[in-house]
Amino acid sequence: MNNPKKPTGKKSNNVYLILVGVFLMLLSAFLIFLYGKKATQQKSNKPEPAEELEPETEPETEPEAERKDYANDLVELFVEKGLSEKEARFWISVSAHETAGFTSPVYNENNNLFGMKQPEERKTTSLGQKGNYASYENDEDSIKDIMLWIEARQFPKEHGTIRQLTSDMKNKGYFEAPYLEYTNAVLKWHKQLFKS
């Protein structure tokens, strides 16, 4: 009897390899098609880029501009009392922090720029205690009083940085708040009032 020829292993392996190769090519083509379609959809969903404009700086509001002008007027009063302009700006930044930007009730009712308590032992320009704080006739008297505090405490009249000033203030008992919290607030006010 004649037995039909069985396929040899070489031919079946070649056919198998060809089928696997064709399958991989079709799979690759399909994936490329899907990826290309997805990329096209993503591109079409993206908005057109806006025309590049120069960034606008927000105009100062009227109260901010007035506050800066007021701060500069206070700096001049300090300079008249013997501080450098740089040190005066540091102290006005302290004042802005103490008075919430020159808006606190203690400032508005007592003309107290620095949150000063009524002194008991040193010279003062205070008219007396009003509430828990010293009260002054005007801003100039409040500045004169902080200068008297500086003299009474033998406080340095010049500092290289706000951090040095607030460190000395903390050491002399001027404020009770945590040093970094107080210093960062004063730095913020300095930037807001004196940096363009």
Q: pLDDT class for 12, splitting at 50, 70, 90?
A: low
Please report the DSSP string for 40-61 in residue order.
Answer: HHHHHHSPPPPPP-PPPPPPPP
pLDDT at residue 55 in the model: 44
SS (H, E, C) 101-133: CCCCHHHHHHCCCCCCCCCCCCCCCCCEEECCE
Answer yes or no: is pLDDT of 17 > 80.
no
Domain 63-194 grouped into CATH 1.10.530.10:
yes
Question: What is the pLDDT at residue 102?
Answer: 94
Indicate the pLDDT class of residue 7, thresholds 50, 70 and 90.
low
User: Residue 38's pLDDT band (boundaries 50, 70, 90)?
Assistant: low
Which residue bears the tokens 């008992």? 173
Whether residue 49 is predicted with pLDDT greater than 50 in this model: the reply is no
Collapsed DSSP state (helix, strand, coil) of residue 135: strand
